[in-house]
Amino acid sequence: LLAGPDGRPLAGRTAVVTAGPTFEPIDPVRGLTNRSSGKQGYAIAEALAELGARVTLVSGPVALAAPVGVERVWVETAKEMQAAVQAALPADIAVMSAAVADWRVDGVASGKIKKAPGGPPSVALIENPDILAGVSAPGKLRPKLVIGFAAETTDLEANARAKLSRKGCDWIVGNDVSDDVFGSEGNAVTLFTRGGDVESWPRQPKSGVARKLAMRIADHFKA
Ligand code: CTP
Ligand code: CA
């Protein structure tokens, strides 16, 4: 049993965790965002820190206090989140739990767009960079263990497996968001590994899911 220098299983390890939504401006007063309270990601950052890891939490706009002992970096847009994740590397562990906006506005207005008799403005969108896929790409800075999330309303296993291979990460935490997940305290997830393991964890507080995941990560580094 290889525990780190201070006796905790992740002592000496570093982790970067993304959490919360991103916010993509349309103009100075409006924007596009995703539904995410950040609770699951914050709980994961906290659980990793409790096991001894040095954690950087890259957070979109949420109303949560930073967990004790965790370094939080605030971001708004997906591009800012990507830059903050890059700046947190090298790290042993990456957990990308943020609900990143898939698109941003092409040509953000510098002043407030006013209502006009001609009807609503049209907004052109361009795709945001895939932060998880970028972190998972082979290279000197690739973390040893890269974990993504898949929030799905249907076909959880098929969609999660497809994301695992498309993004090149090591594990995917599949999250059935068809019932009460957003903003709630509870969560039910299934972990899919590249090696083909499947583990379903019963609905439990997000803190419980986080501790299970952190323990599973610690086991991975022990092995
Ligand atoms: N993700 C990311 N950067 C993006 C989009 C997603 O890092 N631009 C990450 C999320 O943090 C999550 C994983 O990719 O860990 C899966 O996100 P999800 O939205 O489920 O996947 P997408 O590839 O965006 O597919 P879709 O939204 O079409 O289901
Ligand atoms: Ca998406």
Instruction: For ligand 1, pick from 102, 104, 176 the residue to mutate: most ligand atoms within 8 Å of CB.
Output: 102
To the nearest whole percent, how much of the chain has pLDDT over 70?
97
Residue 185, pLDDT score: 79
Does 219 belong to an annotated binding site?
no
Name 5's Cβ contacts closer than 8 Å, sequence gap at least 6: 11, 12
Instruction: For ligand 1, pick from 22, 57, 132, 189 the residue to mutate: most ligand atoms within 8 Å of CB.
Output: 132
100-148 pLDDT, tens digit per residue, is 999 999 999 999 999 999 999 999 999 999 999 999 999 999 999 999 9
Does 212 belong to an annotated binding site?
no
Query: Using an 8 Å Cβ cutoff, are 8 and 55 in contact?
Result: no
SS3 214: helix
User: Is 34 in the active site?
Assistant: yes
Residue 40, pLDDT score: 96
Mean pLDDT, rounded, of the chain: 95
How many CA atoms, within 13 angstroms, populate the side-chain half-sphere of residue 118? 4
Q: How many CB atoms lie within 10 A of CB 197?
A: 10
Residue 28, pLDDT score: 97
Maximum Cα–Cα distance across the chain: 70
DSSP at 13? -
User: With a 6 A CB cut-off, is 131 part of the ligand 1 pocket?
Assistant: yes
Span 54-68, mean pLDDT? 98
168-218 pLDDT, tens digit per residue, is 999 999 988 876 667 677 889 999 999 999 999 999 999 999 999 999 999
How many A from CA of 131 to the centre of ligand 2? Answer: 11
pLDDT > 60? residue 62: yes
pLDDT > 80? residue 4: no
User: With a 6 A CB cut-off, is 169 part of the ligand 1 pocket?
Assistant: no
pTM, rounded to two decimals: 0.95
To the nearest whole percent, how much of the chain has pLDDT over 90?
89
Query: Using an 8 Å Cβ cutoff, are 144 and 134 in contact?
Result: no
Task: Ligand 1, residue 173: give the atom nearest the CA.
Answer: 15
10-36 pLDDT, tens digit per residue, is 999 999 999 999 999 999 999 999 999
Q: For 78, list phi and psi in degrees, rounded to 5.
A: -60, -40
> 45-54 burial by CB neighbour count: b if 16+ within 10 A, else e?
bbbbbbbbbb
- In the structure, how many helices (H) and strands (E) does the chain have? 5, 12
Prediction ipTM score = 0.98
Q: Which of 30, 36, 128 is nearest to 78 (CA)?
A: 128
CA-CA-CA-CA torsion sign (129, 132, 137, 140): positive
pLDDT > 70? residue 166: yes
- Dihedral through CA 144, CA 85, CA 32, CA 155, nearest 10? 0
Task: Ligand 1, residue 163: give the atom nearest the CA.
Answer: 23
Place of tokens 């970028």: 134
How many A from CA of 150 to the centre of ligand 1? Answer: 7
Does 180 belong to an annotated binding site?
no
End-to-end CA distance of the chain: 9
Catalytic residue among 34, 128, 175, 187: 34
Confidence band (pLDDT; 50, 70, 90) for 84? Answer: very high
Does 149 belong to an annotated binding site?
yes
Residue 2, pLDDT score: 60
Residue 181, pLDDT score: 67
Strand partners, 150: 174
Tokens linked to 204? 């439990």
Span 42-68, mean pLDDT? 98
